Structure 1
Amino acid sequence: MQPGQLPALVRAHRIMAIIRGTSQEAALDTGRVLIEEGIRLVEITLTTPGALATIEALRALTPEGSFVGAGTVLTEDDVAAAQSAGAEFVVTPAVTPSVAEAARRGMPCAAGAFTASEAYLAFTAGAELIKLFPASTGGPAYLKALRDPFPQIPFMAVGGVGISEARAYLTAGAIGAGVGGPLVGDAANGGSLDALRHRARAFASWAGDAGESS
């Protein structure tokens, strides 16, 4: 992934899967299944055991056109570790030192923000897009109000977003959605991979339709 490419990829694929689990093996299996079923952007949070090793292993399995990133990236050291593991982008939950460090290293960054001040600060620090988090607190109407003064900032909705909610956020102006529980479920904790495949196919189908209609 090249610097500046992340917003276009989110707009094209609509869904970024968020893997946050309790098992390194299950997290890797979850990422593999998601990519096999057509989810093209996968984030492994650094709170997951063995996250860096999982990112490295998943990158080795990932075909061209799919991308693996690191989530819950907080510090400058986190950015360095994620880059060394092969992460192609980083995601933060807030406006943290990792945002400017990612920009310095040329790593695409989706920075978490909730208020107008946070969104502006993260974007000017070098974030390529803003992750509205937790999106469910304000809903699509809040996203629309936040976008109005910042038409130049691409927003992705994250937090409490399933397929029906994602549709509403796209209508309100989001370029895509980051999805954890509604897509991943308990798979990253050792839950059913068959159930994960079913959910992933539904999300991939919806995302394909949403991308074509944009």
Structure 2
Amino acid sequence: MNLMESLRTHRLLAIVRGNDPGAALRTVLTLAEEGVGAIEVSLTTHDALGVITRARAALGPDALVGAGTVRTADDAARAVDAGASYLVTPALVDGLLSADIPEVPVLMGALTPSEVELALARGARAVKLFPASLGGPRYLGALRDPFPDVPFVPVGGVDAAAARDYLARGAIAVGVGSPLIGDAADGGDLGELRTRAAAFRAEITRGAP
């Protein structure tokens, strides 16, 4: 299953961010065990590139472990070298064109209609609507009027209730950080992470159109 198939099927992109690389790796592996199909490791995580490399080695070459918070073309190059299977940016990134890395899909951050157009022009496979909490699900619904075929992934302030609303408004998936991860990537309880992951997936499945 490729990234877009996973997003459309599982409707969830988990975002791992923390200060403990060992805990971050255990968090990625636990999420994969719980059936989360796409997992992003933010480059703000300590030794994020090492976490991505070790996670891909542990989970296999088909694992959808990507790099998030990619802010420069150099970030993108280093993440691809580390084995990231996709890239996620918080905004438009100068010098980053999907055509330059056709084997690695890019979810490019955008908020306004003009930014959405620029992200598409740069070859983004999907648009990360960020920070989605500024406009909420109604804003996504308004964006989909002029952009009905654009795959949007809202990120920022998305809990289970908001996830259901975004999916009902036409998002192909939602990106979720702390409401799902909690403190697991900083050494928190992995059993609690498993409980949250199962509950989140169940809520998304119930709420998805």
Deviations 1:146-169 (A, max 9, x none): 111011211011001111111100
Work out whether residues 99 and 111 of structure 1, in 8 Å CA contact, stay in contact via their aligned partners in 2: no
**Secondary structure, counterpart of 1:61 in structure 2:** helix
Question: Where do 1:1-214 residues align within 5 Å?
Answer: 5-62=2-59, 66-97=63-94, 99-100=96-97, 102-106=98-102, 107-209=104-206, 214=209
Letter in 1 for 2:23: A
- Structure 1 residues 98 and 18: alpha-carbon distance in aligned structure 2, compared to 1, 3 A threshold: farther
Letter in 2 for 1:105: I
> Quick check: 117-126 or 198-207, which moved more?
198-207
Letter in 2 for 1:187: A
- Structure 1 residues 59 and 98: alpha-carbon distance in aligned structure 2, compared to 1, 3 A threshold: farther
Q: What is the alpha-carbon distance in structure 2 between the residues aligned to residue 207 and residue 103 of structure 1? A: 33
- Structure 1 residues 98 and 156: alpha-carbon distance in aligned structure 2, compared to 1, 3 A threshold: farther
**Secondary structure, counterpart of 1:201 in structure 2:** helix
Work out whether residues 99 and 127 of structure 1, in 8 Å CA contact, stay in contact via their aligned partners in 2: no
Aligned length: 208
**Secondary structure, counterpart of 2:124 in structure 1:** coil
Q: What is the alpha-carbon distance in structure 2 between the residues aligned to residue 199 and residue 99 of structure 1? A: 34
Q: What is the alpha-carbon distance in structure 1 between the residues aligned to residue 83 and residue 95 of structure 2? A: 16
Letter in 2 for 1:43: E
TM-score (norm 1): 0.91
**Secondary structure, counterpart of 2:14 in structure 1:** strand
Q: What is the alpha-carbon distance in structure 1 between the residues aligned to residue 55 and residue 16 of structure 2? A: 12
Work out whether residues 113 and 133 of structure 1, in 8 Å CA contact, stay in contact via their aligned partners in 2: yes
Q: What is the alpha-carbon distance in structure 2 between the residues aligned to residue 65 and residue 105 of structure 1? A: 17
Letter in 1 for 2:100: R
Unaligned runs of 5+ in 1: none
